Chain A
Amino acid sequence: MLRVGLSVLCIVAALSLSAQNCFDFHRTNCCPLQDNPYVHYAVSSKSTSFALKPGDSRCILFEIFSGKDYRMTLCSDSLYSGIVSFQIRDDNSVLYDNSDEDFNTFLEFSCRKTTHVELIISAPNRSDVAPETKGCIGLLIEEAITPVLGF
């Protein structure tokens, strides 16, 4: 009975360790490219890090609110060497696609209309690595109240 218990404990520990490989990757690796002294951003709880196999995608449901500014910074480990696709889609269309901007990893915008969006992050295909290899990707989402412009 004790052996079975110990085995289960080992399996659970191993699983949780492997899940935490990319733990807080976005906090330690994603640095916003530009700083705006007029806007004080706070890290959103929707910021996330995860492991992806080459060719896989992850969809994050997110709601952007009117009257807020957002700053999104994408980062990845050396497996993907900065070529990670990032799209923002609403129900009807693609609002942003970083492949149009040479896989830009930084986006800062002001939201004008509260909308549910999907943040789709796709890892590039790699033929030179084992299919089960995973790399870490982090998405740092920061938000702030849109500053008032003009008098």
Chain B
Amino acid sequence: MNIKTLKLSLALLLMLPIFSFGQTNDYSMRKCFGYQRDSCSRSENVYYKMTDESRSALFVKGQTSRVRINIYNGRDYRVSFCHDRVLGEGIIMRIIDAENENTLYDNSEDNFATEFEFTVTQTREVFVEIEVPGNSALADAENNSDLIFVRKDTEMGCVGILVEHMITPPKGF
């Protein structure tokens, strides 16, 4: 290897971090990526494992959004959520049967608890719905297609849903 090749290789090696930064600095991506993993506290029970159905998203006040997850018979689940402080308190989490839209759990009847643990006896598809209380022009404009532009709410924040599961431990002898 001559000196010229060595210099060129060295220069390319030094420029690599710049290129890699440029590639990861993609602002079109969602800004809350990985929020549930980094910000939501996990169960102290070491048998719980985080599922791939955990999600995070950007919310404004007054917005409601839901995510569909599968829950399987013979497993225990812990569904919890966390959020940026800017969204305020009193965030509602509901677990809704995807088949008949029956509400199976509503944390507003449980002192706005941020986590819920349960055992599944029938495999089901459910929605985990998050409702951020309050008003915002952006949330109000969701159903109005006549608007040309909507004033921006600067109070945006991330919400993460953490879904953990484990095999239901046998009880008794």
| Contact A151 B67, beta carbon cutoff 8 Å | yes
B93 vs chain A, min Cβ distance (A)? 13
Q: Which of A46-54, A104-112, A119-127, A130-138 is found at the contact surface with chain B? A: A104-112
| Contact B59 A149, beta carbon cutoff 8 Å | yes
Using Cβ atoms and an 8 Å threshold, which residues of chain B touch A36?
Answer: 152, 154, 156
**Of A40, A115, A145, A150, which one neighbours B59 at CB under 8 angstroms?**
A150
- Indicate whether B138 reaches chain A with its CB closer than 8 angstroms: yes
- Indicate whether B39 reaches chain A with its CB closer than 8 angstroms: no
Residue of A nearest to B32 (CB): A38
| Contact A149 B150, beta carbon cutoff 8 Å | no
Interface string of B135-149 (1 = CB under 8 A from A): 000100100010111
The interface size of chain B toward A, counting residues with CB under 8 Å, comes to 28
- Indicate whether A5 reaches chain B with its CB closer than 8 angstroms: no
Which A residues fall within an 8 A CB radius of B? 34, 36-38, 40, 64, 69-71, 90, 95, 107-113, 115, 144-145, 147-151
| Contact A150 B150, beta carbon cutoff 8 Å | no
| Contact A112 B58, beta carbon cutoff 8 Å | no
A84 vs chain B, min Cβ distance (A)? 20
**Of B59, B67, B145, B152, which one neighbours A110 at CB under 8 angstroms?**
B152
**Of B66, B141, B149, which one neighbours A151 at CB under 8 angstroms?**
B66
**Of A64, A109, A111, A150, which one neighbours B57 at CB under 8 angstroms?**
A150
- Indicate whether B20 reaches chain A with its CB closer than 8 angstroms: no
Among residues 52 to 82 in chain B, which have CB atoms less than 8 Å away from a CB atom of chain A? 55, 57-60, 63-67
| Contact A38 B147, beta carbon cutoff 8 Å | no
**Of B59, B60, B147, which one neighbours A112 at CB under 8 angstroms?**
B147
Max chain A C-beta neighbours (<10 A), residue from B31, B32, B141: B31
| Contact B60 A40, beta carbon cutoff 8 Å | no
Using Cβ atoms and an 8 Å threshold, which residues of chain A touch B28?
Answer: 145
| Contact B151 A109, beta carbon cutoff 8 Å | yes
| Contact A37 B31, beta carbon cutoff 8 Å | yes
Using Cβ atoms and an 8 Å threshold, which residues of chain A touch B30?
Answer: 147-148
